[in-house]
Amino acid sequence: MPHLTRIGVVRGGPSNEYEVSLNSGANVLSALRKHFEHRYQPRDVFVDRDGRWHIDGISILPQELATKVDIVFNALHGTFGEDGKVQAFFESHGIPFTGSGSLGSAIGMNKIMAKKILADHGIKSPQGRHFTPEE
């Protein structure tokens, strides 16, 4: 039997977009199981609201993930999932993952910095305005 690539679909997480992330990840898991069962072994990697990690319902330490998956499909949303933090974790543990790296993700979440970098490279972007909390 050929080795199936183990794809860890990471979902949930501590952000306000927890429910959206659960649904996104569930959809990815469903598609992998339905259409790619002979090529991939999907693994449900759930991060609860308190930051505890689980794989296929079993609690694990985050650093154990590298021994349980070949690649991660990042379905986390918002803080921790899109801001470069989980990407930096994957990078530091040598876990290949989908999406942008930690630096690109961090810059992308900081809209002011992203617009400045785009402008510095002559790339146009929509007008924007930064509002302080007092405003």
Nearest CA among 21, 8, 3 for reference residue 78: 21
Cβ atoms of residues 80 and 107 within 8 Å: no
Give SS3 for 130: coil
Give SS3 for 15: coil
Token pair belonging to 74: 């990042």
Indicate if the pLDDT at residue 28 is higher than 90.
Answer: yes
Indicate if the pLDDT at residue 1 is higher than 70.
Answer: no
* pTM strictly above 0.85: yes
* Number of C-beta neighbours around residue 1 at 10 A: 3
Q: pLDDT tens digits, residue range 80-117?
A: 999 999 999 999 999 999 999 999 999 999 999 999 99
Cβ atoms of residues 9 and 30 within 8 Å: no
